[in-house]
């Protein structure tokens, strides 16, 4: 069974790199930190590599052990978490050079790019998959480990509210609460509190929000200049795409953000009910989940907007 092979590979490896997708969200961060603690409990000394660590997650146990890069070129083992394809993997060189690779993920669009792939699209968060894995490893999920895992679950489920939340999600959370995990602190810090820069960006995206398709689609954006003006740091745009989805009658929320290259935008999409935004993002080389997905498109804001609205229109027909 795959999990036995995963344990064997971990036991054999002296050097292990733990990686996740670029622009890491709470699930990516929670997964990396949880795996780090779990491997340490198994007697290993893994490297947790995240090039840009979002400041809002610095409160989590093990956040101080994360490094932006490593001088080990060829790891015995590299583990990719919460990342659908190799292109999006932060630190992909460590993965490509590693002697053995493991992919653990919950994206339906996962391309199975590891030597060993453990992918469950039915899971609402990569962190929830880790619960099953660690239980299989017979590791005790104590307070620190539980806090990291719960961060991924809370952020990827939007605070237990998205479709895909399972009875196990609540059972597991109840168990953590019994063990002393501060569920309320994690909920607040990982999900509710905005950095000041995020709040400034929020004002701008609300101001610019446009409606299409009889009020069923919202579109808004931020540019490099906005991010500079509000002193945004990595991760400060997180959650902005949710604003459109919260408006009455809206079925699809589109938020685009300029990336380093002037003519390139990262698209984030959310949907409420019927529209599969992962299918739409897939048309542009991206992916994700039916209700939350992303991709990158070249062009000016107007060009990108036109391209994406056209595909959203087709999907809503
Ligand atoms: P985001 O809008 O960045 O929060 O992403 C929403 C969901 O889609 C997350 O689960 C991402 O991991 C996934 N996702 C975002 N961009 C891509 C992409 N280019 N390729 C595959 N999955 C993506
Ligand atoms: Mn993620
Ligand atoms: Mn995830």
E runs forming strands in the chain: 16-20, 47-48, 77-81, 100-105, 116-119, 210-212, 217-222, 252-258, 264-271, 287-289, 292-298
Rounded to whole angstroms, the Cα distance separating 14 from 240 reads 41
Say which ligand is closest to the CA of 293. Answer: 1
* Pocket residue to mutate for ligand 1, from 239, 287, 290, 304, most atoms within 8 A of Cβ: 287
Q: Answer with the one of 144, 163, 192 that is the final residue of a domain.
A: 192
Q: How far is the CA of 252 from the centre of ligand 1 (A)?
A: 15
**Residue ID of nearest Cα to ligand 1 atom 4:** 268
Asked if 16 contacts 78 with a C-beta cutoff of 8 angstroms, the reply is yes
Q: What is the pLDDT of residue 260?
A: 78
Q: Domain ends where: 192, 215, 238?
A: 192
Mutation to probe ligand 1, out of 293, 295, 308 (largest number of atoms < 8 A from CB): 293
Report residues whose beta carbon is within 6 angstroms of any ligand 1 atom. Answer: 21, 25, 84, 88, 107, 109, 241, 268, 286-289, 292-296
Query: Which tens digit of pLDDT belongs to each residue from 57-93?
Result: 999 999 999 999 999 999 999 999 999 999 999 999 9
Token pair recorded at residue 1 = 């069974």
Q: Which ligand is nearest to the CA of 271?
A: 1
User: Could you read off the pLDDT of 270-307 as tens digits, one per residue?
Assistant: 999 889 999 999 999 999 989 999 999 999 999 999 99
Q: Are residues 50 and 121 in the same domain?
A: yes
Helix (H, G, I), strand (E, B) or coil at 211: strand
CA separation, residue 95 to residues 17, 23, 68, 202, 311 (Å): 8, 17, 15, 36, 34
User: pLDDT tens, 169-205?
Assistant: 999 999 999 988 999 999 999 999 999 999 999 999 9
Query: Which atom of ligand 1 is nearest the CA belonging to 267?
Result: 2
CATH number at residue 78: 3.90.1640.10
Report the pLDDT averaged over residues 23-44: 98
Looking at the structure, tell me whether residues 180 and 200 fall in a common domain.
Answer: no
Closest CA to 155 of 124, 134, 198, 129: 124
Q: Say yes or no: 221 and 233 in one domain.
A: yes
* Residues 51 and 101 placed together within one structural domain of the fold: yes
Nearest to 10 by CA among 33, 32, 43, 34: 43
CATH code for the domain of 225: 3.10.310.30
Domain count, the chain: 2
Ligand (nearest to CA of 127): 3
Clarify whether residues 6 and 143 are in a common domain: yes
Q: Are 151 and 137 contained in the same domain?
A: yes
Cα(85) to centroid(ligand 3), Å: 13
Q: What are the residues whose beta carbon lies below 5 Å from ligand 2 (ion)?
A: 25, 27-28, 82
The last residue of a domain, from among 192, 224, 241: 192
Ligand 1, atom 11: closest residue by C-alpha? 288
Q: Are residues 186 and 212 in the same domain?
A: no
Question: What was the pLDDT predicted at 164?
Answer: 83
pLDDT band at 162 (very low <50, low <70, confident <90, very high): confident
208 near 307, Cβ under 8 Å? Answer: no
215 and 164 part of one domain: no
The answer to whether residues 207 and 109 belong to one domain is no
Q: Same domain, yes or no, for 154 and 40? A: yes
Residues 37 and 164 reside in one and the same domain: yes
Q: Which residue's entry shows tokens 């808004």?
A: 220
Average pLDDT over residues 33-42: 98
Note whether 157 and 255 are same-domain residues.
Answer: no
Distances from the Cα of 94 to the Cα of 47, 105, 112, 241, angstroms = 11, 18, 17, 31
d(CA 288, ligand 1 centre) in Å: 5
Spell out which residues have Cβ within 5 A of ligand 3, the ion.
Answer: 27, 82, 126, 156
Closest atom of ligand 1 to 107 CA is 10
On average, the pLDDT of the chain sits at 96
Relative to the alpha carbon of 25, which ligand is closest? 2
Domain ranges, residue 273: 196-315
Q: What predicted TM-score, i.e. pTM, was given to this entire model?
A: 0.93
Q: In what order do the strands lie in the sheet with 16-20?
A: 47-48, 16-20, 77-81, 100-105, 116-119
Ligand 1 center from residue 259 Cα (angstroms): 15
């Amino acid at each position: 069974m795959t999990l036995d092979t995963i344990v064997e590979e971990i036991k054999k490896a002296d050097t292990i790199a733990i990686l996740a997708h670029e622009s890491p969200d709470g699930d990516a961060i929670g997964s990396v930190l949880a795996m780090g603690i779990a491997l340490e409990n198994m007697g290993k000394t893994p490297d947790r590599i995240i090039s840009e660590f979002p400041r809002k997650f610095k409160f989590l146990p093990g956040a101080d052990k994360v490094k932006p890069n490593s001088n080990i070129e060829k790891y015995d083992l590299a583990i990719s978490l919460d990342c659908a394809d190799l292109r999006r993997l932060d630190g992909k060189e460590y993965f490509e050079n590693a002697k053995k690779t493991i992919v653990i993920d919950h994206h339906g669009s996962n391309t199975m790019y590891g030597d060993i792939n453990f992918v469950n699209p039915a899971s609402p968060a990569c962190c929830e998959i880790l619960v099953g894995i660690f239980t299989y490893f017979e590791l005790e999920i104590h307070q620190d480990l539980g806090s990291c895992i719960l961060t991924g679950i809370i952020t990827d489920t939007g605070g237990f509210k998205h479709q895909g939340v399972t009875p196990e999600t609540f059972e597991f959370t109840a168990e953590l609460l019994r063990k002393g995990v501060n569920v309320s602190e994690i909920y607040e810090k990982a999900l509710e509190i905005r950095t000041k820069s995020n709040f400034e960006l929020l004002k701008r995206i609300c101001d610019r929000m446009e409606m299409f398709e009889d009020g069923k689609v919202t579109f808004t954006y931020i540019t490099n200049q906005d991010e500079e003006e509000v002193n945004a740091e990595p991760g400060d745009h997180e959650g902005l795409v949710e604003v459109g989805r919260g408006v009455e009658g809206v079925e699809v929320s589109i938020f685009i953000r300029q990336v380093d290259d002037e003519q390139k935008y990262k698209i984030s999409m959310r949907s409420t009910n019927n529209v599969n935004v992962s299918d739409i993002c897939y048309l542009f080389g991206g992916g994700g989940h039916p209700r939350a997905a992303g991709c990158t498109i070249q062009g000016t804001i107007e060009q990108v907007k036109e391209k994406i609205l056209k595909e959203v229109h087709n999907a809503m027909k």
